[in-house]
Structure 1
Amino acid sequence: MTATGTLTLATRTGSAPLSWTTAVLYTALVLTWLVVARRSLRHATRHVRRPAGQIVD
């Protein structure tokens, strides 16, 4: 939401610093998504490989 709001503000004002801030925020958002996706997949594959009786959370 912050990245989208910053993008809107940068577009409406034509501010170069806000445009750079938007790029940084979107990059941080995508990197966060990648970390979460990787950890989710790792967690899922660990639980798929174990027999049903050995699942421990």
Structure 2
Amino acid sequence: MADDKIATTISRIRPLGGHIRVGFENNLFTVNGSLASSDADLVRDTVSALQCLELRP
């Protein structure tokens, strides 16, 4: 599942105090590989991954 990739990345950067940057300037594709229609699609994917890790966005 593509959410697993985001969750893995988040779980690795969080203990280091990392922040998440989401938007077209960083990525054009959603977790399922389709072209994002807006930044909102990318934010939605990230929020979903954070919720899977029981983290607050």
Q: TM-score higher than 0.5 here? A: no
State the TM-score, normalizing by the size of structure 1. 0.35
Between Structure 1 and Structure 2, the one with more helix by share is 1
State the TM-score, normalizing by the size of structure 2. 0.35
